[in-house]
Structure 1
Amino acid sequence: MVKRFEGKVVIVTGSSQGIGRATALLFAREGAKVTITGRDLNSLEESKKAILEVTHSEDSVNVVAADVTTSEGTDKIVNSTIEKFGKLDILVNNAGAAFNDENGKVGVEVGIGAYEKTFDINVKCVIDLIQKCRSHLIASKGEVVNVSSIAGGAHANPNFAYYCMSKSALDSMTRCFAIDLIEHGVRVNSVSPGIVATHFLNALGIPDEGVKKCYEYYKQHRDIIPSGGPGKPEEIAQVIGFLADRSMSSYIVGQSIIADGGTSLIMGMNCHDLSEVCK
């Protein structure tokens, strides 16, 4: 039986853990050859090990330790992929992050340095990679899937304003680039996850015990996540796989699929029983 991504070549950024690792593993399991990339070589080796357990072939995976926020890093990712695999069919822009202010400020007081770092990884590097992959994707009539966030939606989160702004920019980029590239047969779409159990909170300086308490709190409060808890990386990977599979999603162009357990459907007023308030 032919696997759905048999013969395809995929780049997944930020694939040393979390959603990126789950996505790279999904593509490998479905027959693709995958470039995994991140800054932590040890974590990348763990991702590679997981892939080899599925494919049993060193030829199925390309490991690139690189910083996607630098031109040298994106050159290394793209060039090594073409050198090893000869082409590119699917680009998954998953690398992303939020940053705390170094002085502990929040909201409008957060320093411009945090803004620059946030936009470098959530926006600029995506532009850089799409530009550098453009000719290869046109040649293969390929796919781009960006990983955004419900943080880019209409609601506000003042403690992470720059992160929200960057994801809004990414959503706009997805729409604009989709119109540009569909003329060449390349589709661009995105997924907007809600709260997912990854190392995202750890990267913000929250220790494991604090993250565990946070997730338990979410499970107990359906007014935060109606489905009852954080998503799993594999659940987001499945959406990415759907968007990258032209046989399943060929007529979807420039769209973002929200996968958040219902979080973005909740407004503050829904958390209060107005029948009790009005008594």
Structure 2
Amino acid sequence: MSKRFEGKVVIVTGSSQGIGRATAVLFAREGAKVTITGRDEASLEESKKAVLAVTNSENNVNVVVSDITTSSGVDQLVNSTIDKFGKIDVLINNAGAAFTDENGKVGVEVGLESYQKTFDINVKSVIDLIQKCRSHLIASKGEVVNVSSIAGGPHANTNFAYYCMSKSALDSMTRCFAIDLINHGVRVNSVSPGIVATHFLNAMGIPDEGVKKCYKYYTEHRDIIPSGAPGKPEEIAQVIGFLADRNMSSYIVGQSIIADGGTSLIMGMNTHDLGDVCK
């Protein structure tokens, strides 16, 4: 029996851990050839091992250590994929981050440096990748799935204003690019996760013990996660796989599927101080 992504070539950004790693493993398990990428070589090696555990072939995985906030990093990623696999069928724009202010400021007081860093990874890199993959995706009548966040919705969160703004921009980009690219047979959609148990908080500088406290606190408060637990990377990967599978989701164009355990229905999370929770 053939696998649903047999013969497909997939790029997954931010695949050194978390949702990106789980997504790369899902596509590999379903028969795809996968390019994984990130800035941390050691973490990418762990992702490669996870992919090889389900595909058993070095020929099916391409590892690219690069910084996709730079034009040269994006060129390296795209060119390496074409050089090894000859085409691109699916682009998963998963890489993203939130940055805390070095001086502990929040809201309107957060410096423009944090704004620039946030938009470079969450918005600019996605534009650059879609533009540079465009001709390849048109040739394959491919798919783009952006990983956004419920933070991009209408609810305010002063602690992470720039992150929320960047994900709102990504949602708008998804809709605009979807209308442009569907004329060429390429679908663009996105998934908006809520709280997912990944290294996202660690990357913001919160130590492991603080992260554990945070997830425990969120789990105990149903006004934060009505379903009672943070999501798993594999659960978000399943949504990404659905959106990338034209047999399953062919009539979905320019949409964002929310996967958040009900969080966005209440958004009580924004009334809790994350800094106090993680102490």
TM bracket, shorter-chain basis: over 0.9
Q: Is the 8 A contact 2:155 2:267 kept in 1?
A: no
What is the letter of the counterpart of residue 201 of structure 1?
A: L
Tell me which residue corresponds to 1:258: 258
Q: Is the 8 A contact 2:224 2:267 kept in 1?
A: no
User: Could you say what the CA RMSD is over the residues aligned between the two structures, in angstroms?
Assistant: 0.9
**Displacement, 1:66?**
0.1
1:21 and 2:21 are equivalent in the alignment = yes
Tell me which residue corresponds to 1:59: 59
Instruction: Note the alpha carbon deviations across 1:106-163, whole angstroms, 9 max, x for none.
Output: 1110000000000000000000000000000000000000000000000000010000
**Displacement, 1:267?**
5.2
1:41 and 2:41 are equivalent in the alignment = yes
Aligned to 2:179, the other structure's residue is in SS state helix
Count, aligned residues: 269
**Displacement, 1:204?**
1.0
Structure 1 stretches of at least 4 aligned residues deviating more than 2 Å after TM superposition: none
- Structure 1 window deviating more from structure 2 (128-137 vs 210-219): it is 210-219
Tell me which residue corresponds to 2:134: 134
**Displacement, 1:103?**
1.6
Tell me which residue corresponds to 1:10: 10
**Aligned-partner Cα distance in 2 for 1:93–1:195:** 18
5+ residue gaps, structure 1: 272-279
Q: Is the 8 A contact 2:93 2:147 kept in 1?
A: yes
5+ residue gaps, structure 2: 272-279
| Percent identical | 87
Structure 1 length normalisation: TM-score?
0.95
**Displacement, 1:250?**
0.1
Aligned to 2:27, the other structure's residue is in SS state helix
Tell me which residue corresponds to 2:72: 72
Aligned to 2:14, the other structure's residue is in SS state coil
**Displacement, 1:102?**
1.6
**Aligned-partner Cα distance in 2 for 1:107–1:181:** 35
**Radius of gyration: which is bigger?**
1
Change (3 A) 1:55 1:164: same
**Aligned-partner Cα distance in 2 for 1:125–1:218:** 31
**Aligned-partner Cα distance in 2 for 1:147–1:53:** 25
Tell me which residue corresponds to 1:115: 115
Q: Is the 8 A contact 2:192 2:257 kept in 1?
A: yes
What is the letter of the counterpart of residue 224 of structure 2?
A: I
Aligned to 1:37, the other structure's residue is in SS state strand
Tell me which residue corresponds to 2:177: 177
Tell me which residue corresponds to 1:196: 196
Change (3 A) 1:160 1:267: closer
